[in-house]
């Protein structure tokens, strides 16, 4: 077993344990922290896969943005949780576990069939540095890039609209604001 | 060098764990976290295959998926907070106003 293989096994084991921790934790905060661990281990794996820019983007966007957002919302609304049991359906967990094993088996089977050959021209990827990714992104995939920026703008507006409080006036001095803004 | 299929199997396992989490858990926040985990497993698959074929297209795809995932989490959490104004619980069994 080479060092790179050993490294992959260790990091992969941590990633899987963190993934299991997300699903099995009682407290949402523990789940969020396990999710953070999962994202961090995935970023490490991206570096071994010649995707250095994406590893940094993973840490910044996911660990530094999405997990923080989730933790904020947990602090706002998600604090209390017992393990909610689905009403009238005690067999839910067994069926879900069975379906998950079936999914894993079919995915693994389809993957093991191909991909026996070693990786191809790894040097052409230049380690996934921003320069190389930017060349491809801004020449060949410019339209998806612009569409992604529009998507982010739309999501920003959507989150803003959804996050507004009700438009009923609370103070008597102000006239009632029209309710049309929040009803799109 | 670690074979690509190892990365793909790891990604499949994380995806399956996320899928089981979505099916089993009833807390809407944890379901959202499991969906994010599934998206991340797909990212790992795409980057592994990008290395397999020496092409940066997979990494561009992952870039787009990260943007979409960030947008989706923002809007999803906003929906959850808006839902909390009407009822206190985020148990998805109790968010059923659209049912007959």
Nearest to B27 by CA among A28, A5, A179: A28
Chain A residues with beta carbon closer than 8 angstroms to that of B69: 61-62, 66
CATH of the domain at A11: 1.20.120.1200
List chain B pLDDT tens, one digit each, 100 residues. 788 889 999 999 999 999 999 988 888 999 999 999 999 999 999 999 999 888 889 999 999 999 999 999 999 999 998 888 888 888 888 888 777 6
Percent of chain A clearing pLDDT 70 (strictly above) = 80
Q: Which of B21, B37, B93 sits opposite A86 (nearest CB)?
A: B93
Closest CA to B11 of A105, A50, A107: A107
In a domain, A89, yes or no: no
Regarding whether A2 and A66 lie in a shared domain, the answer is yes
Task: Identify any residues that bridge with B27 across adjacent strands, giving them in sequence order.
Answer: B91
Range of the domain at A35: 1-80
Cβ-Cβ contacts under 8 Å for A42 (sequence gap 6 or more) = A15, A58, B40, B43, B44
In the DSSP assignment, the letter for residue B94 is G
A17 within domain boundaries: yes
Q: Is residue A152 part of a domain?
A: yes
d(CA A4, CA B39): 25
* Unique residue bearing structure tokens 């995707």: A51
Q: Are residues A73 and A143 in the same domain?
A: no
CA distance A47 to A72: 29
From the list B52, B60, B85, which residue is nearest A136 (CB)?
A: B60
The pLDDT-based confidence of A79 (bands split at 50, 70, 90) is low
CA distance to partner chain B, nearest, from residue A171 (Å): 19
Name the residue facing A119 among B15, B51, B63 (closest C-beta): B51
Cα distance from B62 to chain A (closest Cα, Å)?
8
Looking at residue B92, the DSSP 8-state letter turns out to be: G
The model's pTM is 0.87
The answer to whether residue A8 sits within a structural domain is: yes
- Tell me whether residue A57 is in a domain: yes
- Tell me if B36 and A62 make a contact (CB, 8 A cut-off): yes
Which residues 4-23 of A have a C-beta within 8 angstroms of B?
Answer: 4-5, 8, 12, 15-16, 19-20, 22-23
A1, A69: one domain: yes
How many CB atoms within 10 Å of residue A180? 8
Question: What interface predicted TM-score (ipTM) does this complex get?
Answer: 0.93
Residues A84-126: pLDDT tens digits?
555 557 787 888 889 999 999 988 888 877 676 677 777 777 7
Range B4-89: architecture per CATH: Orthogonal Bundle (1.10)
Looking at the domain assignment, is residue A175 inside a domain?
no
As beta bridge partners, residue B91 has: B27
Total count of domains within chain A: 2
Instruction: Answer whether residue A170 shows pLDDT above 70.
Output: no
Residue A4 domain-assigned? yes
Q: Confirm whether A141 is domain-assigned.
A: yes
3 state SS of B82: helix
Tokens of A75: 């602090």
The predicted model gives A141-146 an average pLDDT of: 94
């Amino acid at each position: 077993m080479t060092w790179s293989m050993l490294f992959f096994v260790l990091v992969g084991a941590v990633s899987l344990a963190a993934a299991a921790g997300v699903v099995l934790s009682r407290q949402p905060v523990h789940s969020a922290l396990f999710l953070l661990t999962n994202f961090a281990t995935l970023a490490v794996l991206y570096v071994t896969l010649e995707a250095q820019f994406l590893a940094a983007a993973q840490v910044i966007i996911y660990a530094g943005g999405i997990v923080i957002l989730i933790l904020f919302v947990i602090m706002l609304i998600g604090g209390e949780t017992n393990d909610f049991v689905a009403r009238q359906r005690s067999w839910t967990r067994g069926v879900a576990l069975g379906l998950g094993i079936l999914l894993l088996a079919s995915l693994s089977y389809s993957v093991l069939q191909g991909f026996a050959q070693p990786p191809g021209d790894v040097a052409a990827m230049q380690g996934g540095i921003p320069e190389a990714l930017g060349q491809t992104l801004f020449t060949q995939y410019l339209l998806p890039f612009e569409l992604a920026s529009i998507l982010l703008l739309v999501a920003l507006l959507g989150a803003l609209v959804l996050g507004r409080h009700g438009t009923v006036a609370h103070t008597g001095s102000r006239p009632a604001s029209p309710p049309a803004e929040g009803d799109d | 060098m670690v074979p690509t299929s190892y990365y793909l199997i790891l990604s499949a396992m994380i995806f399956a764990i996320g899928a089981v989490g979505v099916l089993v858990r009833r807390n809407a926040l944890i379901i959202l976290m499991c969906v994010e985990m599934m998206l991340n497993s797909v990212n790992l698959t795409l980057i592994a295959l990008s290395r397999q074929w020496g092409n940066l297209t997979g990494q561009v795809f992952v870039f787009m998926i990260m943007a979409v995932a960030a947008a989706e989490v923002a809007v999803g959490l906003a929906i959850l907070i808006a839902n909390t104004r009407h009822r206190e619980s985020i148990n998805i069994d109790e968010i059923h106003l659209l049912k007959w």
